[in-house]
């Protein structure tokens, strides 16, 4: 007896979701290895155990697939940075920045740090050439900055008044910008200090004067 239509729809939906995840994983893996330009759809499909037609059916094409990889990667970054901080907590603004630095350096200490850098550089190159990808990247970057701004706004400092919303926004942009550049420098310049205390102390100075 054939399963009811609702069950068939669920099965097709589940299969499509599984195929989508497999293609995203294969695409990301290949892009890390050979870059976006070198990543061929045939190879992505083969690694995912699917046909190239599945890529066109699910995503529409190579560029759309890569944008989906970008979106998935950006969403994975949020929990790594751990920016959902209780605004009523006792942590000072300086302590929050120090915690963020430690979290970020822990990511850079992972064995796949160089692969991550290659992927993000490929992402940046494509975003600068494709308006839709750039819009996607900007939206994710804005979301991270807004979450850090929210975590810093009104938070007490070791000395001086709490950070205003304007001050918090400036600090968030400066700290995130510094960490982004630091990530590349630590991978490309292995002689640099990786001491989280030294780096955190330097970035805390980005907070406005009391």
Q: Which of 77, 88, 79, 90 is nearest to 180 (CA)?
A: 77
Q: Name the residue range of residue 194's domain.
A: 70-210
Q: Domain ends where: 42, 60, 78?
A: 60
155 close to 93: Cβ distance less than 8 angstroms: yes
Q: Domain ends where: 38, 60, 82?
A: 60
Per-residue pLDDT in tens (0 to 9) along the chain, 210 residues: 555 554 455 688 888 899 999 999 999 889 888 888 888 999 999 999 999 999 999 999 989 999 999 888 888 777 777 766 665 567 888 888 888 888 888 877 777 777 777 788 888 888 888 898 899 889 988 988 998 999 899 888 888 788 999 999 999 999 999 888 888 887 778 888 888 888 888 888 888 876
Q: How many domains does the chain have?
A: 2
For residue 80, what are the CA distances in angstroms to 24, 45, 141? 20, 29, 14
Same domain? 199 vs 105: yes
Burial (CB < 10 A; 0-12, 13-18, 19+), residue 110, is exposed
**Residue 65 within a domain:** no
């Amino acid at each position: 007896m054939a399963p009811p239509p609702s069950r068939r729809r669920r099965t097709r939906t589940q299969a499509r979701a599984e195929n989508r995840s497999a293609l995203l994983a294969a695409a990301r893996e290949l892009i890390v290895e050979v870059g976006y330009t070198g990543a061929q759809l045939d190879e992505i499909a083969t690694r995912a155990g699917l046909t190239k037609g599945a890529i066109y059916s699910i995503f529409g094409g190579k560029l759309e697939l890569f944008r989906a990889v970008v979106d998935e990667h950006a969403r994975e970054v949020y929990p790594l940075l751990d920016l959902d901080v209780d605004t009523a907590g006792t942590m000072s603004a300086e302590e929050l920045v120090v915690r963020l630095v430690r979290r970020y350096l822990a990511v850079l200490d992972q064995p796949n740090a160089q692969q991550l850098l290659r992927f993000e550089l490929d992402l940046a190159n494509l975003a600068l050439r494709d308006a839709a990808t750039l819009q996607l990247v900007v939206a994710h970057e804005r979301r991270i900055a807004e979450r850090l701004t929210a975590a810093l706004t009104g938070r007490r400092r070791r000395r001086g008044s709490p950070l205003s919303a304007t001050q918090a926004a400036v600090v968030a942009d400066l700290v995130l910008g510094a960490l982004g550049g630091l990530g590349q420098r630590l991978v490309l310049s292995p002689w640099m200090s990786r001491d989280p205390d030294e780096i955190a102390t330097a970035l805390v100075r980005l907070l406005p004067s009391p």
